[in-house]
Structure 1
Amino acid sequence: MKTVAVLGGGIGGLAASYYLCKSPQVTKVIVLESSSRFGGWLWSTRRSDGAVFEHGPRGIRPTGAVGRNTLNMVDDLGLAGDVLPVTYSHVASKNRYLYVNKQLHRMPSGISGLLRTVPPFSRPILWSVGMEILVKKSKEDDESIHSFVSRRLGKELADIAVDSLCRGVFAGDCRKLSVRSCFPVLYNAEQRRGSLALGMLLGSGPSPVVPARPLAQRSAKESWAQWSLRRGVESLPESITGFLQKSSRVELHRHAVVKQICPSASGWKIHLEDGAVSADHIISALPAKALSSTLPSSCQPLIQELQDIATVTVAVVNLEYDGSILPVMGFGHLVPSSEDRSLLGIVYDSVPFPEHNKPNGHTTRLTVMMGGAWFQEDFGDPETVKEEHLLQRATEAVQTHLGVTSVPSWSWVALERDCIPQYYLGHHRRVDSMRTFIKKKNLSLSLIGSSYDGVSVNDVIFSGRTAVEELLGAGV
């Protein structure tokens, strides 16, 4: 193995480069990022007074093999001392709300909450879970999340709780999203155990083996529900970038827009706006549509599959208010599409991560998320929408939902265009088809990132690791 080009300098591309850099099999790693910064959607604003605001992911889950893998990387990079953990016993973990019928409702938690009828639900959630064991297993190879949950747990949970959850995680419509690709644990639980409850109790299939290093061991011992970093989650890509800059085998290029990639005798020739680079192998962390526009015409079936992966745009509005303005304490609240299609939810950032508040003076930080699958419907073309309109819509939501009458002392509007891929029905077949085409044509190409195998930070990092292991294991 001589030279590997990594297309895209978001967290997926940086993670792949990090794992490549650790192998003596690789002579050179060339990272090509089209923008002025590395880190992609992991983007933090650090104000001069010490306050930190997240414009993308704000908390990372430590659970499972992929969660341990990220914590192991954080440990290796020397960031363990900067971790801000939130335990399961924390109020932000115990209190999560839904905004239904113009009221905030705390989601049931604990045995007592599951046993009682808690608004906005008309019966105890444990009743739905108990009856679920009697539901027959589906013979379909995929199903929408809404259909799956309606069939197994009832339409009410699907319409309210799961609809809201999918808007919070994917900014998407649970009636279109694939349960197999978005929530593989649920799909596998039904397929292998015949029941979600049994799948949760007995396990729903094998998972990757990732040993827990000290930080991951600590997270398990202390029961972390999520974590961030003292200077924001952008510290993670910044630390990886710093690690890569110290390696004589890595070339990092900003403002490097990939125009076209063409097969060559040794692998690929990658054409940029101002020149070209050669590589034996390409790891693409580009969004699916961006990659599709660079491929040669000989890859037409792959190009079509890539173009068929849809994305949504999300408006993220950070707000800071003077004093304590929240009527409730918790992580935040989500809004089902039946209540307000364009308002996805509000995160109470100061509750899980008070360390990100400015140290002098008491303030409350909130993030309002809007649009997603409903962006065009409510706000029109993302190219023409005005920041003032998004800010007004966000502050009105805070006033209506939380009863906050004061004006924010600071705000930031970020329009995240095409930020979350949508795994619609049959997504798994599309991804399998793409990788089969690559294998059959013997293309020196790996696909990683949120377009394919999971949209979470952990999933994207792990996809980079998996691609590198497959590449080096193959000895290509």
Structure 2
Amino acid sequence: MEHQLTTNLSHKEDTQNAHTVDVLVIGAGLTGLTIGFLLALSEKKVHILEKADRVGGQIRTFREKGFIYESGPNTGVNSYPEIFELFEILDGDCIMETAREESKRRLIWKGDRFHALPSGLFSAITTPLFTLGDKFRILGEPFRAKGNNPDESVGELAVRRLGKSFLQYAVDPFLSGVYAGDPMKLVTRYALPKLYNLEQQYGSFIRGTIAKARQPKTAYDRLATKKVFSVEGGLDRLTDAMAAVIQPHHITLSAADVTIRPYADKWMATYSTADGEQTIIAERVITTTGAYTLPALLPFIPKEKMDLISNLHYAPVVQASVGFRNTGGLRFDAFGGLVPSCEKKEVLGILFPSACFAGRAPEGGALFSFFIGGVKHADLTTWPEEELKALVKRELHAMLKLPAEAEPDMIRIFRHEHAIPQYEQSSGARLETIDELQTRYPGLTLAGNIKDGIGMADRIRQATEIANEITDF
């Protein structure tokens, strides 16, 4: 109370010309925009502060020479009904695009080429990806005892239930593609909670999957099709459409030095723009920015508490978008290819966006997205741009078998220092601290990918739940 009173007195003069709102959202990425969009539809007075000069956060679409490519996320998965509902509410302002059927194939690198990840019993038996012993081992998976270590890593779980080769050639590349992370450090109940719950509730992945499939689904449940999606014309159509509904005068871009403090039973934000120092008074504040931004953003939180949140580790990633106007007849009918760590390659994987969605490359051409770095190869993300381009060109020929004389028509390099949060063992203390702080400071919500998942679907679902807590929308 003494701290709060001091804050009120020391900043009394700041509030004389303050702008007042119902809800202040920090960050105009997918989470913040979804919250703002839903609240705006519910006629809540909402304002968003964004430090960048544009909306979208990690989502950014480029259009060049007949290619449409992303510098951040390329796809989402329609994992929850909230994703379908969001597009339905937007009502044609942007259109969900589902990946083509032929792009369902997932490829895994082994030896000197890509192999299709098994999709059925016959392919699982005949694949060269897994050892014979582990192929037999999976038959015993339904009868294996469930784990009792709540902090068991995904890697430990995979070896215990499926065998080492499944870890090496299925789980490890999958986590490289999703988290750019280390399966031996990512904790299952935080990084893959659905997988963790299958074992804990049903004692087995196989038994749990069968039981889940047999459960009756409501019409609402069936909205979650589990299909890979993007947006027609690029993902920024989604973020731009939501920003348009929120309206530009309710979004402040290039907001610098944002600081949030308690103010009586409300919240005061101070920040600077080209017009000078600004102040907003809000009933509620929702942060959606990275953990590393929170110490400066919320200086009133005790350091010992903030340290438990801001120590979240992020994987750095370089994404290279590569375009060919003409592939010489070569086809790439797959979602993409992932590279196991044990194969010692310098790329994490390659996605094939033009195989998934229409219009991403000129007719007869192809668009690829290379991913480099991650937790295990963070040093590669510091390479000069020309060295990264040379690496990409080498792997185009070595991995995708493009002719030696084939030169890409476009290569664009994007660096993401804080690309993907790693839900490691520190996650338990972080989540407990977030809950404690939200109870201690009513009206403060700490959101974004510091909790509740890292995918586009996770961000939309979290945002929808937060908006629903504030309004009966």
Q: Which interval holds the TM-score relative to the shorter structure?
A: 0.7 to 0.9
Matches within 5 A, 1:65-144: 66=80, 68-79=81-92, 82-86=95-99, 90-93=101-104, 95-114=105-124, 116-123=125-132, 127-144=136-153
CA displacement at 1:96 relative to structure 2: 1.3
Conservation of the 8 A alpha-carbon contact between 1:44 and 1:55: yes
| Alignment match of 2:190 (pick from 181, 186, 211) | 181
Q: Does 1:196 align with 2:196?
A: no
Work out the CA distance in 2 between the residues paired with 1:11 and 1:207: 32
Query: For the structure 1 residues 210 and 424, does the alpha-carbon distance in structure 2 shift closer, same or farther, using more than 3 Å as the test?
Result: farther
Conservation of the 8 A alpha-carbon contact between 2:259 and 2:270: yes
| Alignment match of 1:8 (pick from 13, 27, 33) | 27
Work out the CA distance in 2 between the residues paired with 1:17 and 1:378: 37
CA displacement at 1:426 relative to structure 2: 4.4
Q: Deviations over 1:33-64 (max 9, x none)?
A: 110111111111122x542112222222223x
Work out the CA distance in 2 between the residues paired with 1:70 and 1:101: 38
| Alignment match of 1:350 (pick from 346, 350, 354) | 354
Work out the CA distance in 2 between the residues paired with 1:419 and 1:261: 25
Work out the CA distance in 1 between the residues paired with 2:262 and 2:345: 45
| Alignment match of 1:237 (pick from 222, 236, 239) | 239
- Secondary structure of the structure 2 residue equivalent to 1:133: helix
CA displacement at 1:160 relative to structure 2: 1.9
CA displacement at 1:259 relative to structure 2: 3.1
Conservation of the 8 A alpha-carbon contact between 2:66 and 2:361: yes
TM-score, normalising length from structure 2?
Answer: 0.88
Q: Which residue of 2 aligns with 1:58?
A: 74
Q: Which residue of 2 aligns with 1:431?
A: 431
CA displacement at 1:126 relative to structure 2: 6.0
| Alignment match of 2:339 (pick from 315, 332, 335) | 335
- Secondary structure of the structure 2 residue equivalent to 1:148: helix
Work out the CA distance in 2 between the residues paired with 1:209 and 1:421: 33
Conservation of the 8 A alpha-carbon contact between 1:13 and 1:31: yes
CA displacement at 1:171 relative to structure 2: 0.8
Conservation of the 8 A alpha-carbon contact between 1:230 and 1:356: no
Ranges in structure 2 where 5+ consecutive residues have no aligned partner: 1-19
CA displacement at 1:294 relative to structure 2: 1.7
Conservation of the 8 A alpha-carbon contact between 2:87 and 2:95: no
Work out the CA distance in 1 between the residues paired with 2:377 and 2:262: 38
Matches within 5 A, 1:182-331: 182-203=191-212, 211=220, 220=225, 225-245=227-247, 251-273=250-272, 274-324=277-327, 326=330, 328-331=332-335
Query: For the structure 1 residues 453 and 341, does the alpha-carbon distance in structure 2 shift closer, same or farther, using more than 3 Å as the test?
Result: farther
Work out the CA distance in 2 between the residues paired with 1:207 and 1:2: 43
Query: For the structure 1 residues 106 and 298, does the alpha-carbon distance in structure 2 shift closer, same or farther, using more than 3 Å as the test?
Result: closer
Ranges in structure 1 where 5+ consecutive residues have no aligned partner: none
**Counterpart AA for 2:54:** R
Conservation of the 8 A alpha-carbon contact between 2:317 and 2:378: no
- Secondary structure of the structure 1 residue equivalent to 2:261: strand
Q: Deviations over 1:257-285 (max 9, x none)?
A: 34321111132211212322221211111
Query: For the structure 1 residues 182 and 228, does the alpha-carbon distance in structure 2 shift closer, same or farther, using more than 3 Å as the test?
Result: same
Query: For the structure 1 residues 283 and 182, does the alpha-carbon distance in structure 2 shift closer, same or farther, using more than 3 Å as the test?
Result: same
Conservation of the 8 A alpha-carbon contact between 1:117 and 1:124: no
Query: For the structure 1 residues 161 and 51, does the alpha-carbon distance in structure 2 shift closer, same or farther, using more than 3 Å as the test?
Result: same
- Secondary structure of the structure 2 residue equivalent to 1:293: helix
Q: Does 1:155 align with 2:164?
A: yes
Work out the CA distance in 2 between the residues paired with 1:126 and 1:448: 41
Q: Which residue of 2 aligns with 1:33?
A: 50
CA displacement at 1:209 relative to structure 2: 8.6
- Secondary structure of the structure 2 residue equivalent to 1:388: helix
Work out the CA distance in 2 between the residues paired with 1:327 and 1:51: 17
Work out the CA distance in 1 between the residues paired with 2:206 and 2:83: 28
- Secondary structure of the structure 2 residue equivalent to 1:338: helix
Work out the CA distance in 2 between the residues paired with 1:124 and 1:226: 33
Percent identity of paired positions between Structure 1 and Structure 2: 24
Work out the CA distance in 2 between the residues paired with 1:210 and 1:279: 38
Work out the CA distance in 2 between the residues paired with 1:2 and 1:396: 53
Query: For the structure 1 residues 124 and 12, does the alpha-carbon distance in structure 2 shift closer, same or farther, using more than 3 Å as the test?
Result: farther
Q: Which residue of 2 aligns with 1:422?
A: 422
Query: For the structure 1 residues 71 and 50, does the alpha-carbon distance in structure 2 shift closer, same or farther, using more than 3 Å as the test?
Result: farther
- Secondary structure of the structure 1 residue equivalent to 2:324: strand
TM-score, normalising length from structure 1?
Answer: 0.87
Moved over 6 A (4+): 206-210
Query: For the structure 1 residues 211 and 430, does the alpha-carbon distance in structure 2 shift closer, same or farther, using more than 3 Å as the test?
Result: same
Work out the CA distance in 2 between the residues paired with 1:341 and 1:140: 32
How many residues end up aligned between the 2 structures? 447
RMSD: 2.7
CA displacement at 1:200 relative to structure 2: 1.0
Q: Deviations over 1:111-130 (max 9, x none)?
A: 3212x231122238764432
Conservation of the 8 A alpha-carbon contact between 1:84 and 1:229: yes
Conservation of the 8 A alpha-carbon contact between 1:12 and 1:464: yes
Work out the CA distance in 1 between the residues paired with 2:461 and 2:35: 9
Query: For the structure 1 residues 196 and 464, does the alpha-carbon distance in structure 2 shift closer, same or farther, using more than 3 Å as the test?
Result: same
Query: For the structure 1 residues 21 and 125, does the alpha-carbon distance in structure 2 shift closer, same or farther, using more than 3 Å as the test?
Result: farther
Q: Deviations over 1:370-391 (max 9, x none)?
A: 0011343334xx4xx4221221
CA displacement at 1:328 relative to structure 2: 5.0
Work out the CA distance in 2 between the residues paired with 1:236 and 1:314: 23
Work out the CA distance in 1 between the residues paired with 2:309 and 2:168: 31
**Counterpart AA for 1:451:** I
Query: For the structure 1 residues 457 and 121, does the alpha-carbon distance in structure 2 shift closer, same or farther, using more than 3 Å as the test?
Result: same
Q: Which residue of 2 aligns with 1:44?
A: 61
Query: For the structure 1 residues 207 and 10, does the alpha-carbon distance in structure 2 shift closer, same or farther, using more than 3 Å as the test?
Result: farther
Query: For the structure 1 residues 210 and 282, does the alpha-carbon distance in structure 2 shift closer, same or farther, using more than 3 Å as the test?
Result: farther
Moved more, 262-271 or 186-195: 262-271
- Secondary structure of the structure 2 residue equivalent to 1:104: strand
Work out the CA distance in 1 between the residues paired with 2:78 and 2:278: 42
- Secondary structure of the structure 1 residue equivalent to 2:77: coil
Q: Which residue of 2 aligns with 1:442?
A: 441
Work out the CA distance in 1 between the residues paired with 2:346 and 2:461: 31
CA displacement at 1:21 relative to structure 2: 1.7
**Counterpart AA for 2:126:** T
Q: Which residue of 1 aligns with 2:6?
A: none
